[in-house]
């Protein structure tokens, strides 16, 4: 298996003028992560999958339309097709009906001036016709139809050949994450298989002597490991291949083995815990030993301590994200740094999350000098105004704040306290499609 070959972290970091690993701004950290990943971006292999399996995958090649969609001009309405030049300049137009055309059963004759054809939606426009009058605007008398001349203009209610996709033009571009509309688009071209990037392999594990797994007894001072489950959820939603390396105890042998195994098998490795300041565990030591890692204190809340870089094992390199241990900090740092990096490594092009502005319903206390990611509930009131409130206790261990929220409220680095009614930036958790 080939691995992306990474530049040294130092070569990326030194591009930053005011780099201080003890006090890094969110934007700086994000830039380093993005630059490091971009400069290492070795394209993942391509694989061909059936159309159903391509949902959520990343398109590996442009799809060039082999046909026109639609293949011919056709009717957009149930009504009567005729030549627009037959519309009378008097108030009323009368036409003689000479036949019928249905979707899949075209009318094959020629239509002359003063004539029309009964036509259904999707039926090919007969020869000589460029206009359709909807049936509800027409009075019928045997084979004669009549309508008000101003009810329709030449060319109305007709879909043009190739107006959706024209032959030879790109229908979908490489790097797009395939969504339901794209499945339909691909099917409309008659294609049953799609070339996609292979899934990025992402390994993850939790670190900590206090962690217990589901089914184990919870002794005093212990907590159930929840981070592996949120990571499972976030990574699954991202569409990567996941590899769960379990809980790793705070001892050097277990750590070394876990990091080596994960780096040997995966393109990226995510850990949680053990990167806090002054922590008496081995995580940092082992990360340093095996890789090219920077440890950061980022001016953000939650999510201050984080490790980032690459680790080597069995001749392979994997990008490493050493996330904090606190459950909310794991999710915030994932969405702030990891998501973008994994999508970029996967070959995706559209990486920005959906952001919008909303009015705060209450005062939100905030100190300038750090970026805060508060958990919010966004609502749209009856007049279409978006408001956002915070979800109670915002401690970095309070996972309920994430569960109840539907967005992050992002309070920028220099921002002070927000007053009720102020506009704030929010990042939505869910997209529609």
Report the interface residues with ligand AMP, using CB under 6 A: 206, 208, 210-211, 223, 225-227, 272-274, 276, 279, 324-327
Q: Residue 210 or 289: which CB sits closer to Mg ion?
A: 210
Q: Is the peptide bond before 377 cis (omega within 30 degrees of 0)?
A: no
HEC string for the chain:
CCCCCCCCHHHHHCCCCCCCCCCECHHHHHHHHHHHHHHHCCCCCEEEEECHHHCCCEECCCEECCCCECCCCEECCCEEEECHHHCCCCCEEEEEEEEEEECCECCCCECCCCEEEEECCCCECCECCCEEEEHHHCEEECCEEEEEHHHCCCCCCEECCCCCECCCCEEECCCCECCHHHHHHHHHCCCCEEEEECCCEEEEEEECCCEECCCCCCCCCCEECCHHHHHHHHHHHHCCEEEEEEEECCCHHHHHHHHHHHHHHCCEEEEECCCCCCCCCCHHHHHHHHEEEEEEEECEECCCEEEEEEEEECCEEEEEEEECCCHHHHHHHHHHHHHHHHHHHHCCCCCCCCEEEEEECCCECCCCCCEEEEEEEEEECCCCCEEEEECCCCCCCCCHHHHHCCEEEEECCCCCCECCCCEEEEEECCCCC
Stretch that binds Mg ion, among 28-36, 51-59, 318-326, 369-377 (CB under 5 A): 318-326
* Binding at 223: pick from Mg ion, ligand AMP, none (beta carbon under 5-8 Å per type): ligand AMP
Stretch that binds Mg ion, among 23-31, 45-53, 64-72, 319-327 (CB under 5 A): 319-327
Q: Residue 4 or 325: which CB sits closer to Mg ion?
A: 325
Q: Residue 271 or 317: which CB sits closer to ligand AMP?
A: 271
Q: Residue 140 or 223: which CB sits closer to ligand AMP?
A: 223
Nearest approach, Cβ of residue 228 and ligand AMP (Å): 6
How far is Cα 214 from Cα 223, in angstroms, rounded to an integer?
Answer: 10
Nearest approach, Cβ of residue 404 and ligand AMP (Å): 18
Nearest approach, Cβ of residue 337 and ligand AMP (Å): 16
Nearest approach, Cβ of residue 280 and Mg ion (Å): 9
Q: Residue 59 or 248: which CB sits closer to ligand AMP?
A: 248
Name 255's Cβ contacts closer than 8 Å, sequence gap at least 6. Answer: 207, 248, 282, 283, 286
Residue nearest to ligand AMP (CB): 325
Q: Residue 62 or 226: which CB sits closer to ligand AMP?
A: 226
Largest CA distance in the chain: 93
Nearest approach, Cβ of residue 25 and ligand AMP (Å): 21
* Binding at 324: pick from ligand AMP, Mg ion, none (beta carbon under 5-8 Å per type): ligand AMP
* Binding at 302: pick from ligand AMP, Mg ion, none (beta carbon under 5-8 Å per type): none
Stretch that binds Mg ion, among 45-53, 94-102, 239-247, 321-329 (CB under 5 A): 321-329
Q: Residue 299 or 333: which CB sits closer to ligand AMP?
A: 333
Q: Residue 74 or 206: which CB sits closer to ligand AMP?
A: 206
Q: Residue 126 or 208: which CB sits closer to Mg ion?
A: 208
Residues 236-295 interacting with Mg ion (rule: CB under 5 A): 273-274
* Binding at 276: pick from ligand AMP, Mg ion, none (beta carbon under 5-8 Å per type): ligand AMP
Nearest approach, Cβ of residue 299 and Mg ion (Å): 22
Stretch that binds Mg ion, among 22-30, 205-213, 389-397, 399-407 (CB under 5 A): 205-213
Nearest approach, Cβ of residue 238 and Mg ion (Å): 25
Nearest approach, Cβ of residue 224 and ligand AMP (Å): 7
Among 101, 162, 208, 302, binds Mg ion (CB under 5 A): 208
Q: What angle do CA 138, 143, 145 make, to 5 degrees?
A: 20
Nearest approach, Cβ of residue 30 and ligand AMP (Å): 21
Where do contacts with Mg ion occur on this chain (CB under 5 A)?
208, 273-274, 325
């Amino acid at each position: 298996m080939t691995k992306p070959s990474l530049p040294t972290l130092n070569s990326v970091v030194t591009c930053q003028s005011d780099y201080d690993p003890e006090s890094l701004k969110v934007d700086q950290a994000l830039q380093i992560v993005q630059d490091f990943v971009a400069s290492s971006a070795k394209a993942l292999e391509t694989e061909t999958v059936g159309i159903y399996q391509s949902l959520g995958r990343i398109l590996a090649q442009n799809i060039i339309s082999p046909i026109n969609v639609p293949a011919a001009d056709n009717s957009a309405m149930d009504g009567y097709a005729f030549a627009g030049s037959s519309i009378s300049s008097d108030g009323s137009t009368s036409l003689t009906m000479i036949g019928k055309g249905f979707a899949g059963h075209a009318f094959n004759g020629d239509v002359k001036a003063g004539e029309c054809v009964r036509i259904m939606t999707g039926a090919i426009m007969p020869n000589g016709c460029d206009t359709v009058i909807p049936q509800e605007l027409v009075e019928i008398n045997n084979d004669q139809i009549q309508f008000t001349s101003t009810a329709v203009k030449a060319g109305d209610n007709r879909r043009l050949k190739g107006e959706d996709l024209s032959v030879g033009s790109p229908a979908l571009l490489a790097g797009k994450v395939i969504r339901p509309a794209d499945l339909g688009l691909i099917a409309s071209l008659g294609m049953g298989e799609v070339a996609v990037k292979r899934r990025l392999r992402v390994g993850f594990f939790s670190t900590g002597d206090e962690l217990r797994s589901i089914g184990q007894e919870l002794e005093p001072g212990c907590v159930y490991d929840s981070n592996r489950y949120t990571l499972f959820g976030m990574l699954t939603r991202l569409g990567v291949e996941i590899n769960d390396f379990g809980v790793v105890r705070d001892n050097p042998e277990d750590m070394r083995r876990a990091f080596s195994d994960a780096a040997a098998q995966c393109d990226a490795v995510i850990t949680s815990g053990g990167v806090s300041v002054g922590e008496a565990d081995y995580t940092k030591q082992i990360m340093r030993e095996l890789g090219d890692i920077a440890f950061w204190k980022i001016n953000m809340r939650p999510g201050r301590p984080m490790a980032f870089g690459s680790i080597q094992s069995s001749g392979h390199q994997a990008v490493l994200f050493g996330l904090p241990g606190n459950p909310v900090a794991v999710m915030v740092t994932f969405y702030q740094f990891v998501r973008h990096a994994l999508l970029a490594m996967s070959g995706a092009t559209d990486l920005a999350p959906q952001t919008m502005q909303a009015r705060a319903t209450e005062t939100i206390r905030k100190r300038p000098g750090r970026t805060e990611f508060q958990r919010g509930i966004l609502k749209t009131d009856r007049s279409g105004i978006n408001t956002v409130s915070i979800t109670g206790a915002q401690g970095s261990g309070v996972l309920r704040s994430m569960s109840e929220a539907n967005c992050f409220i992002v309070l920028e680095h220099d921002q002070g306290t927000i007053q009720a009614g102020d506009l704030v930036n929010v990042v939505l958790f869910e997209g529609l499609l």
